[in-house]
């Protein structure tokens, strides 16, 4: 079933990142193309999937071309954002001056390969829990500076975003608990001092921690490194008093068991910190 594609909204942060990416690769100009390619030569470059993948990043590349400025190639996408395509599927055609196509090729591919890789891995996890009530969520374990893009890619893959940054939600972890003096004190302080619109989530490592978080009135309880059997017991013990999230070393081989244990959310850091780049190529058409 075709999933709805999440909205992509360019921001000043994204534009700054794209400008940095262009500056990083272009330097003072492509000396190879300048030496070998006539200035007025025009060409078409075909972008193609070399593996089965979820296409992600087309609006990022569109924005990259816009940031490149006058003389940027035009691009026509032949696959839609979020499509699951097979190896050999043409994804897009870029048309413009050959020198420019060669100069921007690597930056465009880097963006597409990263975002499509994240979206493809994410789709695998989402598909693995299909038919259950569990939702896959991402984490803040993203490539530094790329969080907006990484989290957009997980949405394209079908996951939900956890908090974007530290200001997006209260997540009380072990070090916070140590500083605050325990679960009850931490939740009470969060209720008193944090913005009223934010949910309070507490990370726990055992049943005693779960009970303490529930008794303190936590909105969400994160079960850290529980087994699926322990998660099932925790869900039954919580009895709907809080949203239950599982996290910690969950893989494609184990994620279904966690989902079937009745958990609401499954956080998977690997979606972004371990996603392999998708195999995508760009070739000049003769």
Q: Which among 48, 138, 201, 203 is annotated as catalytic? A: 203
Question: Alpha helices, DSSP H only, in the chain?
Answer: 12-26, 31-36, 58-68, 98-128, 147-156, 174-180, 183-193, 207-216, 228-238, 255-260, 270-273
Of these residues, 3, 67, 93, 173, which one is catalytic? 173
- Point out the catalytic residue in the list 106, 135, 140, 199: 106
Q: Which of 52, 67, 141, 191 is catalytic?
A: 141
The pairing of beta strand 280-284 with beta strand 42-49: antiparallel
Four-residue CA torsion sign, 219, 209, 241, 187: negative
Whether the Cβ atoms of residue 128 and residue 256 lie closer than 8 Å to each other: yes
Q: Which of 48, 138, 224, 245 is catalytic?
A: 224
Query: Among this protein's residues, is 106 annotated catalytic?
Result: yes
Catalytic residue numbers, as ranges: 106, 141, 173, 203, 224
């Amino acid at each position: 079933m075709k999933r709805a594609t999440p909205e992509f909204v360019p921001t000043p942060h994204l534009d700054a990142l794209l400008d940095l990416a262009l500056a990083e690769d272009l330097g003072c100009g492509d000396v190879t193309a300048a030496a070998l390619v006539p200035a007025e030569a025009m060409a078409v470059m075909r972008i193609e999937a070399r593996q089965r993948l979820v296409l992600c990043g087309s609006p990022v590349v569109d924005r990259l071309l816009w940031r490149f400025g006058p003389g940027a190639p035009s691009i026509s996408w032949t696959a839609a954002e979020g499509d699951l395509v097979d190896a050999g599927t043409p994804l897009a055609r870029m048309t413009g001056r050959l020198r420019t196509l060669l100069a921007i090729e690597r930056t465009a591919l880097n963006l597409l390969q990263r975002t499509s890789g994240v979206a493809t891995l994410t789709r695998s996890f989402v598909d693995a829990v299909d038919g259950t009530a569990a939702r896959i969520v991402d984490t803040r374990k993203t490539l530094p500076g790329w969080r907006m893009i990484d989290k957009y890619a997980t949405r394209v893959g079908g996951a939900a975003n956890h908090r974007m940054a530290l200001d997006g939600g209260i997540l009380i972890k072990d070090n916070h608990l140590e500083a605050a003096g325990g679960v009850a004190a931490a939740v009470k302080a969060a209720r008193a001092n944090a913005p009223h619109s934010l949910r309070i989530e507490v990370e726990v490592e055992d049943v005693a921690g779960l009970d303490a978080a529930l008794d303190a009135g936590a909105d969400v309880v994160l079960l850290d490194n529980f087994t699926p059997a322990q998660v099932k017991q925790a869900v039954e013990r919580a009895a709907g008093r809080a949203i239950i999230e599982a996290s910690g070393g969950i893989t494609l081989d184990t994620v279904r068991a966690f989902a079937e244990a009745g958990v609401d959310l499954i956080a998977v850091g690997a979606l972004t910190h371990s996603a392999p780049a998708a195999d995508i190529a760009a070739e000049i058409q003769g």
